[in-house]
Amino acid sequence: MADKIKMELPIVEMDGDEMTRVIWKKIKDILLEPYINLKTEYYDLGLEKRNETEDQITIDAANAIKKYGVGVKCATITPNAQRVKEYNLKKMWKSPNGTIRAILDGTVFRAPIIVNCVKPLVKTWEKPITIARHAYGDIYKDVEFRVQGKGTAELVFTSENGEVSKQVIQDFIGSGVILGMHNIDKSIESFARACFNYALNVKQDLWFSTKDTISKIYDHTFKDIFQDIFENEYKEKFKDAGIEYFYTLIDDAVARVIKSKGGMIWACKNYDGDVMSDMISTAFGSLGMMTSVLVSPDGNFEYEAAHGTVQRHYYKHLKGEETSTNSVATIFAWTGALRKRGEIDKINELINFADKLDKAIINTIEEGTMTKDLAGIADLDNVNAVNTEEFLFEIKKRLDILLKQA
């Protein structure tokens, strides 16, 4: 057996919960550690440890990503009332993803992993479509009010030196609803830079859409900030990379995306990104095939699968029943992090390994061996549906062949 690949700087490794925690360990044992002297700084973000450390571990992990630039995260439970009981929590801890995002100031990019035997529902799509979702503000941080009868609703802003600006929203003659929402330039600017940097990184065109014709100040501000930053900081770089930035109305973008071949990044405001990423992932196939990366404007990368902890499968696993959980997105999170580490530290073997592991996964599925979620939708005559662990060994077989070819 050849020498194991050596690493220089560590990857920040964030372990998680339930079925994905089970898979996490198996991926390391079967597909990573036999080939790499894996150097990670380990943070256990499993719910028990978060509870024990009063969530300090999540903050420490986020700061470690700032230090080392690259992290990989397992899916974690976001506690709700039922989880507080189940795990006997001191508190309903916040979503770790939200905490990490707030510290890194990032944008989330989600892209489907394409295999030729799972045909997208949209026939023209040949390449993946990546959604870049702004993760701050708008209706996710709004104030809402139920109007019960006649009266006047006003939008009032009081500046720090006491100047008041007032506009009438509506003179209500009966009951209705009002909402107030906001965004801030600094957040929109970092969203824009994260999108431009990501597009350069993957060498794909960047589309951005809002409804600026109707929302002449709010959405128009997003459009203007993107345009200014593009003109001043990215125009030349895009030209050199042979890619384009293009702005269009959200309704026009929807029509164009459906008719496109794919292969672009589609930047969306918070709500649009929430809705469109579910549309894109469903149209491409399965949640188990959707990767996610958080990119911060100062160049930190955090990779994860887009799905959750696959709780239902975990309860089966605990009862000793066989599971067939798709590990593809979680392995892609690891290869994304290893590749990025290799690029930053200039370790070609690491990049090469990540590429081959990705290829081994695609080969496994395209040759007909896959987990049940894919077996149900694959366009193949002979499908070999395997369990969680068998799937990893099937990938390993192909990985060994690919590594020998080098």
Residue 32 makes contact with ligand NAP by CB under 6 A:
no
Euclidean distance between CA atoms 256 and 248, whole angstroms: 10
Give the per-residue contact string, 366-405, with ligand NAP (x = CB under 6 A; - = no).
-------x--------------------------------
Residue least distant from Mg ion (Cβ): 274
Among 75, 100, 206, 365, binds ligand NAP (CB under 6 A): 75
Write out the binding residues for ligand NAP, residues 302-361 only, by CB under 6 A: 304, 307-312, 325-326
Count CB neighbours of 55 within 10 A: 18
- Give the residue, chosen from 262, 273, 288, 342, that forms a contact with ligand NAP under the rule CB under 6 A: 288
Residue 132 or 264: the one with the smaller Cβ distance to ligand NAP is: 132
Residue 102 found at the interface with ligand NAP (CB under 6 A)? no
Nearest CB to ligand NAP, comparing residues 75 and 229: 75
With CB under 5 to 8 Å by kind, the binding choice for 373 among Mg ion, ligand NAP, none is ligand NAP
Q: Which stretch binds Mg ion (CB under 5 A): 11-19, 174-182, 272-280, 359-367?
A: 272-280
Total residues at interface with ligand NAP (CB under 6 A) = 17
Figure out which of the listed residues 153, 181, 249, 287 binds ligand NAP, where binding follows CB under 6 A: 287
Q: Judged by CB under 6 A, does residue 278 bind ligand NAP?
A: no
Tell which one of 274, 298, 390, 400 touches Mg ion (CB under 5 A). 274
- Residue 274 contact partner, candidates Mg ion, ligand NAP, none, CB within 5 to 8 A by sort of partner: Mg ion
By beta-carbon proximity to ligand NAP, the closer residue of 14 and 350 is 14
Q: Which residues bind ligand NAP (CB under 6 A)?
A: 75-78, 97, 287-288, 304, 307-312, 325-326, 373
